[in-house]
Amino acid sequence: MKTGLRLMFILLIVFLNLTVNKAQTLKLDISESPGSNTFPLVKEGTCAGLYFEATDHTVVAKVTEHLADDLELVTGKRPLIANGVPDVDGPVVLIGTIGRSQLIDKLIEEKKLDVSTVKGKWESFVMATIEQPMSGVDQALVIAGSDRRGTAFGVFTLSESMGVSPWYWWADIVPEKRKELYIKKGKYVQGPPSVKYRGIFINDEGFGGLNVWARKTYETNIGDIGPKTYTRVFELMLRLKANYCWPAMHACTKPFYYYDENPVVADNYAIVIGTSHCEQMHCNTMTEWNEDQQGPWNYKVNADRINSFWKERIDRTKHYENIFTLGMRGTEDIEMQGAESIEEMVDITRQSITDQRQILQDAVGQNAEDIPQVLCTYKEVLVTYQNGLEVPDDVTLLWADDNHGYTRQLCTPDEQKRSGGSGVYYHLSLLGTPEGYLWLNTISPMLVAYEMTKAYEYGADRIWMFNVGDIKPHEKELTFALQMAYDINRWTPSNAHLFNREWAGLTFGNAMAESIADLMSDYYRLAESGKPEHCYRLDYSPEELNQRIQEYRDLAGRASRLMEQVPDNLKPAFYQLVEYPVLGCHYMNERNLLARRSLQKAAIGDISALEDASQALSCHMQLDSITHFYNAVNSGGKWNHIMSWHPWMSDKMPEVATRELVMAARKSPQAHTVVLNNVKCDEPLIFKDGVLRQADGDNSPVQTLLPGHYSWKSDKDGEMPVWIFASIPTSYTPSYRLFVNEDSLGCELKHIGNIWHTRAAAPVWYKLGMAKLRKGRNTLSLTLPDSLLHIGNIHIGWYPPSRPDYKQQLLAGEFVAHQNTKESTVTVTPGMGMGSGVSIMPFTSPSLNPDQWNKAAWIEYAIAVEKDCSEIEIRTLPTQRVHDGRTLSYAVSVNGAKPQIFDVQADEFTPEWQDNVIRGFTSRKITSPAKKGEKIDLKIYFLDPGLVIRDIVMY
């Protein structure tokens, strides 16, 4: 080939590749205006007929019917639906799957339709206009899928381009009405998707959610989530280009296979069925295993019966498209039964996987390597894997996030070579440790983009499974996540913040899009530093508390003003998708924070505490009011029982100030805080005569307290009750003994569960008991006999103190200088953390050892510190290290001094991790005493990828 021709050929190939890739993120060019180069989908009140063939997959008939519904919804005109060859003169739409539709195959054979870019590929399609495709038909719009889901995705791409949201039914999004529809002629190619299996897990559905709604409102004939509900679920999934479902599995819902029609409905919609991490081999052990009849769910002693149980289920499901979850866990999402050590957990899991693969091979009639299987490394399964569990190469490793949106582990270079690949199980909703968030979705698209892009770059492209709880209210966030899964280039950490604007424009129109996007950006930013379900336990400083209350009031006001601008037919959708989440966060934060502020004021005798208490009570009633409106009024009661503002929380109003408390505090002794700095307290600590001592030591002081001793401010004799609080930096509920003036106030509060199911932690301060202090000197002793526990501080007063306000705060993006390296680039990620997060890219950047800090990319901050300002806190998002063997480290240097090295990795279930994910940051502090007011240069060196600087504060 001559040089000139070779160059032209190369340029042509590059152009074609760019065209295909670009098409992945474009919508069809559809308008109401005809043109010389348009195809008339709806013209002069007549729709083009829709044609498919009965020989095709069932899902093709299903989506063709949905397309007819969508055309009617948009234009008021319903098209003809026909099976077979068109016999009309007008324009037609031909829908079919390559190799299953004679209509499509004949066009390919006659070279009228080129499918070379999609044939044989996974879930791909071609959409093209063809002149005179066959005798008697002047023009056609052809949708040809490479497989059954490819055809379905092509049809629903047309629907969405017409203005029909995937959530048209689930969120009552009414499309804009159009009289006519014209499609710009040409060819549109899409696929294959970036991630092979993209799905949702319906979970925790009984806590005022999907099960209650289905049972009482939608599927009342069976009083359960059944085929009618799943029909709606699977249609939604196809419209979102998802293909994989873990059905609801809690005891309130009958198992998926209880209803014979459920798997049929899934197959009709071409949905792949799998089961969750605790439902091996498609078996719901929570409700389908009867220990009285079948023995213990213990593979050590009852393997034969368990294997028979599995085999019966595989025999029933083998004719459908499935992915089978392997391994062994306990029933009801608990740890494995029977194993007495990690080594035994490894051995039992290894044997169960061997047996499961043999069952699959025998029942399905294929080699085990050809049957899709997955090991979900959730909770203790990851521990088992990390301790030597060998997994067959063809089994997909499904890594899990830490329940709060931060991936726990990804593939090492060797693991990336496995034929089974890997994926991620990711939570948009949670019932679990250290605190659930089943109510509102506050995992931001920006965090999803960061974590899932990182996962993809480490090879996680086989499965993305999203725990969406009850599906609602996760409409926006699930849309974003599945768009990423379908096309990894559509949303990235650098542009994910633009999603809010695009979503708002498509849903409510461009006129309101910018205002809605700004509103949602602030919604996610505020939730990052405390989800509404968690704000009751977060230790905000007085300034932060006041600012947070005001910002949520402003947010709620903006949402209500926007509602006034929304067209009447979209008001139900706006309430569900925007106003209710904003109002919910507003009222929950204000209720809890005003209740707290009322007690803080009351503790110092401030009568204005009663105003805060009254307002907190009003917010409590508003939570009931807005939720009732969502369920029973909005959308005409269509969603009655779907929403609960306390699905796993107590609906009890928190304690608030009373006039009696204010008066009692005015008469009380001055409050004192005893700073212990996390002293281990397995022997009693004695406070006496102003000095704290170990009980069994040499009586030397451990720490000198405030001068003097506890004494009354008044001259009155007698006893005065006052609360004793202790801060204990752990998620465990303490077992303790407390004595004040020889009176025992202690009680035994044993922690329950295991490390994977810890009791939800109380606030930082524990109320230990009511003491009766005397005028003059008092003695206090406290014992925490649990060796896991340490005591932070003791406070004697009517309410514990707040965290102090900080002097100064710098957001991550406010650095004044930076330096990249050959391997790493400093990157600002808009919308992460408090506004913008700063990290290094790419995610595959090499890790550096502490002694290589001078080779790392860095950022520099110029900080003006006040005299005596000595403590600088660096806050990073609570991400996890990329994989085993790596760290999550950075180095910090002040004014060019030798840097300090910090590794902020906090392993899941540790007390530090639990604090981090609730408050939204990991903390490390350095001391830099200032003898005078001055400016210092603070330089942070990135030793690992995945580390995200959130903000820096000075005390």
Q: In whole angstroms, how far apart are CA 489 and each of 160, 397, 517, 799?
A: 20, 23, 21, 51
Cβ contact 456:194 at 8 Å: yes
Cα(391)–Cα(352) distance, integer angstroms: 11
- At residue 219's C-alpha, the angle toward residues 232 and 276, to 5°, is 60
297-333 burial, b for 16+ CB within 10 Å, e for fewer?
bbbbebeeebbebbbebbeebbeebbbbbbbbbbbeb
pLDDT in tens, 583-602: 999 999 999 999 999 999 99
Confidence check: pLDDT of 889 > 70: yes
pLDDT score for 705: 40
pLDDT score for 583: 98
What pLDDT band is residue 466 in, cutting at 50, 70 and 90?
very high
pLDDT in tens, 812-852: 999 999 999 999 999 999 999 999 999 999 999 999 999 99
- DSSP 3-state of 70: helix
DSSP assignment, residue 239?
Answer: H
Cβ contact 138:90 at 8 Å: yes
DSSP assignment, residue 803?
Answer: P
Q: Beta partners for 766?
A: 726
pLDDT in tens, 240-275: 999 999 999 999 999 999 999 999 999 999 999 999
Report pTM.
0.92
pLDDT in tens, 904-932: 999 888 878 988 999 999 999 998 777 77
Average pLDDT, the chain: 89
Burial of 447 (0-12, 13-18, 19+ CB in 10 A): buried
Confidence check: pLDDT of 207 > 90: no
pLDDT score for 822: 97
- Annotate 84-98 with DSSP letters as a single string: SS---SS-EEEEEET
- Annotate 411-448 with DSSP letters as a single string: --TTGGG-TT-EEEEEESSB--SS--B-SS----HHHH
Cα(443)–Cα(404) distance, integer angstroms: 8
Other CB atoms within a 10 A radius of the CB of residue 425 amount to 24
Pick from 647, 641, 645, 577: nearest CA to 225: 641
Cβ contact 834:951 at 8 Å: yes
Confidence check: pLDDT of 712 > 70: no
What pLDDT band is residue 762 in, cutting at 50, 70 and 90?
very low
Cα(508)–Cα(512) distance, integer angstroms: 7
Please tell me which residue, 335 or 821, carries the higher pLDDT value.
821
Q: Which of 311-325, 438-452, 604-618, 665-679 has the lowest mean pLDDT?
A: 665-679
pLDDT in tens, 84-123: 888 888 899 999 999 999 999 999 999 999 999 999 999 9
AA letter at 853? W
pLDDT score for 8: 38
Radius of gyration of the chain measured on its C-alpha atoms: 31
Cα(837)–Cα(812) distance, integer angstroms: 6
Cα(228)–Cα(171) distance, integer angstroms: 17
pLDDT score for 617: 98
- Residue 373 is inside which H or E element, if any? strand 373-376
pLDDT in tens, 869-879: 678 999 999 99
